[in-house]
Amino acid sequence: MVVFDWAGTTVDYGSSAPSVVFDRVLTAAGLHLTREEINRPMGLEKKAHIRQLLSSESGSAQWQQLYGRVWNEQDVDKLYETFEATLHTAGTGSEVTCWATIWDPEQDTKRSLENHDNYAAAALVDPELAAGMPVRLAVSSALDAVAHAVESYWARHTNAVSRALALEAIRTVMGSIDQLFAGAPAAHDAMARGSMLAGLAFSNTKTTACHSISYPLTMHYGIPHGAAVAMLLAPVLACNAPAVQDLDALLGALGVADAAGLQRRIAGLLVRSAQPASLEGWGVARSDLAHLAGLGITKGRADNNPVELTPALIEEMLESIYPMATIPCAG
């Protein structure tokens, strides 16, 4: 079985995790600790937590009995690796798409892999695995899912099925995203459902301008993928609006009246989750915008946008989110 990370990354590297995941990792190693024992060191980063569990009376006794020796650092590393393969966030819906990405900072390139053999035979979507996710990561991952759905809705390759899935995905995520700040389990459930529906939508259509323009922002400045695509949603919406079929249904699902409203809504979510809502805030140099704009046209994404993208138009969009100001095409 291959288990996908919903955000396509392991960006919560080192952070704390829910007890259900510790339970699975320990059970796989043959150890059985109670939920109370597992929760005792809660709040530590994962490796420190594993050491505490193995040092506990029950943990060390079971280890000795199972393996005939005391545990060591290599054992901790092994358990930790299992963790990284089973702990997930939320966003890409990669469990239901045929896409994968390869990032090569040395070559300054990002490649998309597309192969129908990449489709999983079955996908297991368990929102409980996202329970320990930091709010910042949860919000940017949720916004990534929204971008997948929105872009699928207006893509040149859009169709009736992907549009229906996309609208439901957007409603599901945007309707519950505010509850992520309170860590509500129902919100994680909605994000899991929304990101899966968005994954089904864009597995039909691919993404468009937001993703295409975002890649160099992530590559050069380390802006988390979800935050980078989210900042681009409003400026791209403003430019695409005249070419979007049934724009009102899209705006209704997003819960905004226009691109300016979307800009405010997304900026609010980013700022509330302690993330900058402008390129300047992420440390981007203004003198880099023209270069970044040139890199923003990627094959298969840019040419799937309903409105033709040019480096000049992309530069205008980047200017508009550096810092927050009026967005192009919005009048």
Contacts with Zn ion by CB under 5 A lie at 144
Nearest distance from C-beta of residue 103 to Zn ion, angstroms: 13
The closest alpha carbon to 19, from 175, 131, 118, belongs to 131
The residue with its CB nearest to Zn ion is 144
Identity at 246, one-letter amino acid code: D
Residue 43 carries which DSSP code? T
Q: How far out from the chain centre does Cα 301 lie?
A: 18
Nearest distance from C-beta of residue 156 to Zn ion, angstroms: 18
Q: Of 95 and 144, which CB lies nearer to Zn ion in the complex structure? A: 144
Q: Of 26 and 198, which CB lies nearer to Zn ion in the complex structure? A: 198
> Does the CA dihedral 288-149-140-46 come out positive or negative?
negative
Give ∠ CA 95-175-192 in degrees, rounded to 5: 20
Nearest distance from C-beta of residue 9 to Zn ion, angstroms: 10
Nearest distance from C-beta of residue 147 to Zn ion, angstroms: 6
Instruction: Mention every residue, 6+ apart, whose C-beta is less than 8 A from residue 38.
Output: 19, 22, 23, 26, 53
Identity at 26, one-letter amino acid code: L
99-104 and 109-114: which strand pairing? antiparallel
Q: Of 144 and 315, which CB lies nearer to Zn ion in the complex structure? A: 144
The closest alpha carbon to 272, from 181, 171, 205, 201, belongs to 181
Q: Of 19 and 152, which CB lies nearer to Zn ion in the complex structure? A: 152
- With 0-12 / 13-18 / 19 or more C-beta atoms within 10 angstroms meaning exposed / middle / buried, residue 314 is buried
Residue 321 carries which DSSP code? B
**127: helix, coil or strand?**
helix
Q: Of 54 and 277, which CB lies nearer to Zn ion in the complex structure? A: 277
Nearest distance from C-beta of residue 68 to Zn ion, angstroms: 47
Q: Of 148 and 188, which CB lies nearer to Zn ion in the complex structure? A: 148
Strand partners, 99: 114
Alpha-carbon span 20 to 127, nearest angstrom: 11
Nearest distance from C-beta of residue 4 to Zn ion, angstroms: 13
Nearest distance from C-beta of residue 190 to Zn ion, angstroms: 18
Alpha-carbon span 310 to 319, nearest angstrom: 14
Nearest distance from C-beta of residue 211 to Zn ion, angstroms: 6
Q: Of 5 and 144, which CB lies nearer to Zn ion in the complex structure? A: 144
Q: Of 62 and 92, which CB lies nearer to Zn ion in the complex structure? A: 92
Whats the size of the chain, residue-wise? 331
Give how far Cα 312 sits from Cα of 114, 267, 288, 319, 323, Å: 29, 24, 13, 10, 18
